[in-house]
Chains A and B, each alone.
Chain A
Amino acid sequence: MERDREAPMIDWINVILQGVLVGGLYAMFAAGLSLIFGVMRLVNIAHGDLIVLAAYVALVTTETLGVGPLTSLALVVPLMAVIGYALQRLVLNRTLGEDLLPPLLVTFGLSVIIQNGLLAVFTADSRKLQAGDIEVATIRVFEGVYVGLLPLLQFAIAVAVIAALQFVFYRTALGRAFRATADSQSVAQLMGLDNRHVFALAMALSLAVVAIAGVFLAVRANFDPAIGPARLIFGFEAVIIGGLGSLWGTLAGGVVLGVAQAIGAHINPGWQLLAGHMAFLVILAVRPEGLFPRART
C-alpha cells in the first residue's frame, strides 16, 4: 500500500484517536473491577467472563425479542445486577476475610465455569451484535482525520458512566455506605449497615456496569466464550496504569492502554497486544502507584 508521504502525521493522528476511543471501552471494563476492589478488596477473576456473559445475554435478548442492542440494555443491565447481588450474597460473601486464597480461587473457578458453560450452550462460534448503520458511520474531525461514530458514542457513554459512578460514590447515601464499609466493617455495622447487603449492592452495581461493557463489546467486535480473560487483563492494566483508587485515573489508564495498543498495531499488527502489555510493565517498573493515584491509601 502506498503511503501518502505528505501525511504520515495524519495517519498517526487517526491511530491515536482510535486508541483514545477504545480506551473508553477499556475503562468500562475496568470500572466495575475498580469499584469492587475499593469496597471489599476483592479482585474478581471472573470479571472478564461476566462481561462476555453479558454479551451473550444481550445476544439472546436481541434475537428472541427482536430489539436493538441499545434497547436490550433495559433487560441486560437489571438482569446482570440481580445476578451480581445473588452471586455476592450466596457465594462471594463467604470468601471474604483475611485470607486472599478463597476469593481468588473461587472467582477463578467461577471464571472456568462461566467460560465452559457458555461454550457448552453457545459453542465456540464467533458472534456479534448488529447495530445497523451506526457501525460504519464516521465523523470528519478535520481534513483526513475521521473518527467512527460508534466508538465516539461508546467513549461518551463510558465518560458518563464513570461520572455517574463518581456521583454515586461521593454524593449519595449508598456511596457513603460503600466507603464506610470499606473503611471498617465493624464500625459500619454500628451505623446499622448490614455488610452482606452493602457488598451485594456493590457487586450488583459492578455488574450493571459490566452489562453495559458487555453490550458495547458485543456490538463492536466478534466475541466468543474464550475472550473473557483478555478483557479482565485489559481492565486490570487500565486500573494499574491509571492508579488505584481513582475512577478518572482508570479512564486515563484505559486511554493510555488503548493508545499504546493502537501504536503497536500500526507498526506491526502482531504487536498490538504486546505493545499494551509493555506499556503496563513499564508503568509497573517505573511508577507502580500508577499515573494518577488517589492521595490516600
Chain B
Amino acid sequence: MSVRVAFASRSSQIGMGLCAAALVALAVAPLWGGRDDLQLLSEVYTYVALASLWNLLAGYAGLVSVGQQAYVGLGAYILFAFAILAGLSPLWAIPLAGIIAAIVAMPVAGLVLRLRGHYFAIGTWIIAEVFRLLASQVSVLGGGSGISLPASLVIAIASSRQWRDFIEYWIALALVVAVLALIVLLLRSRYGLALKAIRDSELAAACNGIDVLRTRVLVYIITAAATAMVGAFIFLQRLRISPDAAFSVNDWTAFVIFITVIGGIGRIEGPIVGTIVFFALRQTLADLGTIYLLTLGAVAILVMLTAPKGIWGLIVESFGWQVFPLERSVILRDRRGVSEQRSGG
C-alpha cells in the first residue's frame, strides 16, 4: 500500500486556472485601465496583502494582533529614511524595509509573545503606539507633522508621471502576488502543517514535538517583514508620511480586521473575498469615514456572532470549493493499484 499527500482538488484546479487568467488580465491593466482604475486596483492589492498577512497571523497562527500598523509605519519610515537621508531609490528601499523590519521584529516578538491571547493583542497595540511616539520624535523625518518624499527621488523612478503610475501599479501587483505565494508556500510546508496542528490543539501539537513558540515567532517575523514592505509601498505611492497616518489604527488595523472577519478568517480566500466586499461597499456608499466605519464595525460584529467563518466560510460549507490548493488529502493506493482519496482539513 503506498501513501501520497496531494494538495490539489478539482475545485482548486478550476480556481487556480481562473486566477491565472485574472492575473494576466490584471498585469496588462495599464493597457485597458485609466489612472483612477490603476489607483483603485493598487489599493485593492495592498488591502488584500495586508488582510492576508493579518489572517496568517490570526487565523492560522492564532496570534490576534491589533498592532500590525506598527510594521506598516515602520516600513514606510524606513523607506522615507533611506530616501531622504541616503538618497536611496525607493524601489530598493522596499525590500530593505522588509529586512530591517524582520530584524526589529525579533526582540519585539521576544517581548510581546510573553503575553497570551487577549493580552497579546493589547501588547501589540502598545508596541504600535511606541513606534508612533518614537517616529514623532525624529525631527529629520518631519517629527509629529510629517514629511514629503523629495521630488528628485520621485523623478528617479521614472521621468513621466504615466510611467511612474505603471511602475507603481506593477509593484503593487507583484507585492500582492508575492505575499499570497509566500502564504501558500508556507502553508504547504511542514510549518503550515504545524500551524494547523497548533490551531486545532496547542497541547497536542506540543506533545507531538512541534515547537509552538518557535513556529509562532517565525510567523510573526515573516508577517512583520511582509507588512513592512507593503507599508513602504503604500507611502511611496502617497509621497508623504506622518506618524498619525503611518501608524493609523483605523486604516491599517480596523479595516483589515473587518475585511478578514467578513470575508472569512482562517482561509486564504477569505481576505480576498472580504476586500472585494469592502471596496464594493465603498464604491456604492461613497461616504467614507464615520458612518461607514460604524456600519462596517456593526457588520463585522454580526458576522462574528452569527457566521464566524465569514462569507467564504459559508461558501466552503455549502459547496466545498477551494481556490488555492491547500487542503491536504491522503491518496492510498493498494496492491491492486486501486486508489482511494481521503481528505482531512
- Say if the two chains contact directly (CB < 8 Å): yes
**Residues in A lying within 8 Å of B, measured CB to CB:** 37, 41-43, 45, 91, 94-95, 100-106, 108-110, 112-113, 116-117, 119-120, 229-230, 232-233, 236-237, 240, 270-271, 273-274, 277-278, 280-281, 284-285, 288
The answer to whether A237 touches B126, judged by C-beta atoms less than 8 angstroms apart, is yes
9 tightest Cβ-Cβ pairs between the two chains A and B: A43-B118, A112-B297, A109-B301, A109-B297, A113-B297, A116-B294, A100-B117, A109-B300, A116-B290
The answer to whether A112 touches B121, judged by C-beta atoms less than 8 angstroms apart, is no
Give the chain B neighbours of A288 by CB distance below 8 A. Answer: 114-115
Shortest distance in angstroms between A248's beta carbon and chain B's nearest beta carbon?
20
6 contacts between A and B (CB under 8 A): A42-B118, A43-B121, A45-B122, A101-B58, A240-B115, A277-B126
The answer to whether B121 touches A95, judged by C-beta atoms less than 8 angstroms apart, is no
The answer to whether A103 touches B118, judged by C-beta atoms less than 8 angstroms apart, is yes
Give the chain A neighbours of B66 by CB distance below 8 A. Answer: 45, 108
Most chain B CB within 10 A, of A37, A94, A106, A110, is at A106
Shortest distance in angstroms between A139's beta carbon and chain B's nearest beta carbon?
33
The answer to whether A102 touches B305, judged by C-beta atoms less than 8 angstroms apart, is yes
The answer to whether B301 touches A106, judged by C-beta atoms less than 8 angstroms apart, is yes
The answer to whether A109 touches B118, judged by C-beta atoms less than 8 angstroms apart, is no
- Contacts A102-B305, A109-B304, A120-B294: A232 and B122 contacting too (C-beta < 8 A)? yes
- Contacts A103-B118, A120-B290: A112 and B254 contacting too (C-beta < 8 A)? yes
Shortest distance in angstroms between A268's beta carbon and chain B's nearest beta carbon?
9
- Contacts A112-B254, A116-B290: A284 and B114 contacting too (C-beta < 8 A)? yes
Residue of chain A at shortest CB distance from B136:
A270
Give the chain B neighbours of A230 by CB distance below 8 A. Answer: 129
**Residues in B lying within 8 Å of A, measured CB to CB:** 58, 64, 66, 111, 114-115, 117-119, 121-123, 125-126, 129-130, 133-134, 136-137, 249-250, 254, 257-258, 261, 265, 290-291, 293-294, 296-298, 300-301, 304-305, 308
The answer to whether B118 touches A273, judged by C-beta atoms less than 8 angstroms apart, is no
Residue from A43, A101, A232, A273 in contact with B119 in the complex, judged by beta carbons closer than 8 Å: A43
Q: Say whether chain B's binding surface is mostly helix, strand, loop, or mixed.
A: helix
Shortest distance in angstroms between B88's beta carbon and chain A's nearest beta carbon?
28
Give the chain B neighbours of A41 by CB distance below 8 A. Answer: 118
Residue from A43, A229, A281 in contact with B111 in the complex, judged by beta carbons closer than 8 Å: A281
Additional A-B contact list (8), CB under 8 Å, known A106-B301, A106-B304, A116-B293:
A43-B121, A45-B66, A104-B117, A109-B258, A112-B294, A112-B296, A116-B291, A240-B119
The answer to whether B293 touches A94, judged by C-beta atoms less than 8 angstroms apart, is no
Complex-state Cα separation, A292 to B42, whole angstroms = 50
The answer to whether B265 touches A112, judged by C-beta atoms less than 8 angstroms apart, is no
Shortest distance in angstroms between A88's beta carbon and chain B's nearest beta carbon?
14
Give the chain B neighbours of A104 by CB distance below 8 A. Answer: 64, 117-118, 121
The answer to whether B304 touches A105, judged by C-beta atoms less than 8 angstroms apart, is yes
Shortest distance in angstroms between A292's beta carbon and chain B's nearest beta carbon?
17
Give the chain B neighbours of A112 by CB distance below 8 A. Answer: 250, 254, 293-294, 296-297
Complex-state Cα separation, A113 to B300, whole angstroms = 11
Residue of chain B at shortest CB distance from A273:
B133
Residue of chain B at shortest CB distance from A113:
B297
Number of A-B contacts (CB under 8 A): 111
Complex-state Cα separation, A287 to B133, whole angstroms = 24
The answer to whether A284 touches B290, judged by C-beta atoms less than 8 angstroms apart, is no
Give the chain B neighbours of A106 by CB distance below 8 A. Answer: 301, 304-305
Give the chain A neighbours of B261 by CB distance below 8 A. Answer: 105
Shortest distance in angstroms between B105's beta carbon and chain A's nearest beta carbon?
15
Complex-state Cα separation, A236 to B116, whole angstroms = 14
Residue of chain A at shortest CB distance from B137:
A270
Q: Say whether chain A's binding surface is mostly helix, strand, loop, or mixed.
A: helix
Complex-state Cα separation, A105 to B293, whole angstroms = 15
Shortest distance in angstroms between A90's beta carbon and chain B's nearest beta carbon?
10
Residue from B64, B134, B258, B308 in contact with A274 in the complex, judged by beta carbons closer than 8 Å: B134
Complex-state Cα separation, A91 to B298, whole angstroms = 12
Residue of chain B at shortest CB distance from A277:
B130
- Contacts A105-B261, A229-B125: A285 and B64 contacting too (C-beta < 8 A)? no
Residue of chain A at shortest CB distance from B294:
A116
The answer to whether A94 touches B305, judged by C-beta atoms less than 8 angstroms apart, is yes
Residue of chain A at shortest CB distance from B293:
A116
The answer to whether B301 touches A91, judged by C-beta atoms less than 8 angstroms apart, is yes
Residue of chain A at shortest CB distance from B250:
A112
Shortest distance in angstroms between A67's beta carbon and chain B's nearest beta carbon?
30
Give the chain A neighbours of B298 by CB distance below 8 A. Answer: 109, 113
The answer to whether A277 touches B133, judged by C-beta atoms less than 8 angstroms apart, is yes
Complex-state Cα separation, A207 to B66, whole angstroms = 23
The answer to whether A43 touches B122, judged by C-beta atoms less than 8 angstroms apart, is yes
The answer to whether B304 touches A280, judged by C-beta atoms less than 8 angstroms apart, is no
Complex-state Cα separation, A94 to B265, whole angstroms = 18
Complex-state Cα separation, A232 to B123, whole angstroms = 11
Shortest distance in angstroms between B150's beta carbon and chain A's nearest beta carbon?
26
Give the chain A neighbours of B137 by CB distance below 8 A. Answer: 270-271, 274
Shortest distance in angstroms between A20's beta carbon and chain B's nearest beta carbon?
22
The answer to whether B126 touches A101, judged by C-beta atoms less than 8 angstroms apart, is no
Give the chain B neighbours of A105 by CB distance below 8 A. Answer: 64, 257, 261, 300-301, 304
Residue from A100, A113, A278 in contact with B118 in the complex, judged by beta carbons closer than 8 Å: A100
Give the chain A neighbours of B296 by CB distance below 8 A. Answer: 112
The answer to whether A277 touches B304, judged by C-beta atoms less than 8 angstroms apart, is no
Give the chain A neighbours of B118 by CB distance below 8 A. Answer: 37, 41-43, 100, 103-104
The answer to whether B115 touches A284, judged by C-beta atoms less than 8 angstroms apart, is yes
Complex-state Cα separation, A110 to B66, whole angstroms = 14
Residue of chain A at shortest CB distance from B112:
A284
Most chain A CB within 10 A, of B250, B265, B296, B297, is at B297
Give the chain A neighbours of B294 by CB distance below 8 A. Answer: 112-113, 116-117, 120
- Contacts A116-B297, A233-B125: A102 and B308 contacting too (C-beta < 8 A)? yes
Residue from B58, B111, B121, B126 in contact with A45 in the complex, judged by beta carbons closer than 8 Å: B121
